[in-house]
Structures are given as structure tokens and as C-alpha cells.
Structure 1
Amino acid sequence: MRPSVIVASIGMLAVCGGLVYMQTTRDESETAASAATTQPSRTEQAIAPTPDQAATTTATASSSVVTDTTVATAPPSPETVDQWIKDTQDSDPKIRAAAIANLANAPTAQALPALSEVLDAGEPEVDRHIALRSLHALALRDGDENGQVRDVMRRAIYHSDNDGVTQTAQSLLDDVEAAFAEQP
């Protein structure tokens, strides 16, 4: 056999092996991606109630005769908001995450300094993302005529030490800006 035929055969064998490898790894990555989408993120796990809390909430809700529609629309009391603000510094991550998420329902004037502090000193993988989502909800609910909420979000973009926080902040800020641009 000629050496050129041998080299060509080895080259074709290498190409076929590469194609098989690519097909195999693509199937594995699709399987991993679909498994990852079915599992909740760390943020969702942090703010999701435990089964005991969910059972207690369900039992309380089903035994209640009064409809909660008026309670859901009522603003939180100042004492409740103060407790949420204190809980943003709690050592328990579940309490901290719930408090940060609840600040989305607080008056902007009270929630903004606490959420800003969380963005500066909170846990980057969970707390800061929840704080950004709360800021997003505040801006969409109350508007942001003076730009303070958006300024806090911009500061998170430019001064964050975590790329995930920067990306989340940019995405949510873009969403807020688009929502305000659509308003008359």
C-alpha cells in the first residue's frame, strides 16, 4: 500500500472518531441541560417554603373562612417592614431570603436603603439576586420618577464583584427601562 493511502485512511478514521465524540457529548449536554431546567435554582430553593411551612400554610388557609384578597392588597405595617429590614441581616439564609423578597411589597422609601445594603454586602449567589428582583418589582409597582431605584440597580452593574449579579442587574434594569418607555 502506498503511504498516502494509509495517511488518508488514518485521517478519515480520526474525523469519524471526532464526529462520534461530538455526537456523544452533545447528547450528554442536552440531557444535563434538561435535568438542570427541572431542578429549581439556588435562589428558588432559598425562598421556597419547606414542606412543613407549606403544609402549615395550606392548613391555615383552608381553615380560614375570610377571603385573603383584601389582606393581599393591604400594605404591610411599618412594624412588619422594620422586621423585614432587620431580617435581611439574619444569619439564617431562608429568613434572609424571605425578608429580601418581602421588601418588594414594602414602601419604596423604606425598602430602598435596605435593598441597597444587601446589594453591597449580601451573599452574591442568592441575596443580591433576590434584592435585584425586589428592586425590579418596586420600580414596576411604584414607578421610579426620581430614578433612585434605577440608580441602585446601575450601581450593582458597575460596582458588583460578581458577574451573575451584574448580568441580572442589567437584564432587570433593561426590563424596567422598557416598561417605562412603553408608558405614556
Structure 2
Amino acid sequence: MPETLTALARFNAAPDVEAERELLSCCASRVFAAAVAAGRPYEDAERLADAAEAAVRGLGWPDVLEALAAHPRIGERPAGPGREAAWSRREQAGVAEETRRELAEGNRAYEDRFGHVYLVCAAGLTGAEMLARLRDRVRNDAAAERSVVRGELAAITRLRIGRLLGEAS
């Protein structure tokens, strides 16, 4: 726990530009990063995670789309050396190769229907579970799906805030 507090103290003391850059690895919306950075200092990790979740849920749809643009398709192996790519690889580790092909097909149908990447908080889910959720969600209407997407983005962001604090020590 002291390591988290130390990481939180460093985050709280960081210049705005640095704090926003760190937050962008948790949610790639500039509006999100500016809002959460502006709320510093945070008393504890839970308050930071709560503020991050509230900021995601309060984003306008164009800002959600900005964040979605940074997420790889579920089932694709994210490339690159960056923190966000590494986190995505870890979050999607449970996807078997045969399921990847089915996810690729499902992703195409989802993107054709909604115009953006299918987003699911993949941590702890198997590839089959992610595929089942995709198949269910492709039947949503646009308003319902936007609500689900916000919830998934908030959950991913909350997990990544925890990782940010854990990795910052």
C-alpha cells in the first residue's frame, strides 16, 4: 500500500502536462485527462479511480469516440511498445486463435452497425465470453449500445488507473 501512496503522491505533484499524459494511457480522451488532472490532489487511489470513472461517464460522445480510437479490436494482438498496447495485450491474453477469427468477423459486423470498435472490459474474460458478449451487443440499438460502451470504457479506465499507480512506483 505505501507504494501506491507514493505513486499517488507523485501523480498529484506532477505538472499538468505529465499527469494528463499518464491519464491518456488509461483513457485516450483529452477531455477526460484534463478533467481528472484538474481534480488533483486525490486523497487516495479509490478517489482517483472514482473521479476517473465519473469523468468517463460524463464524456460527450465525440470524446468517447476519441478514446475508442486508441483501443485495438478485441482479438487482435495490439502492437507497439507503449503502455496502453502492453495493457491491451494483457487484457486480451485469454483469446485462443480460433476465437480470434470469429471475433474478427464479429468485429466487422459490429463496426458496420455502430461505426466504432467493439469495446469490452476483457480482463478476466475468456475469448468465448468476449465473443458471446459481442454477439449479444450487436443486437442493441444505438442508444443502448452507447450506454454499454460508456460502462465498459469506465471499467477499463478504473483498472488502468490501478495499474498506473502500481507501475508508477
TM over 0.5: no
What TM-score do the two structures reach when normalised by structure 2?
A: 0.26
What TM-score do the two structures reach when normalised by structure 1?
A: 0.25
Say which structure is richer in helix: 1
Larger radius of gyration, structure 1 or 2?
Answer: 1
Q: Which has the higher contact order (CA 8 A, sep 6+)?
A: 2
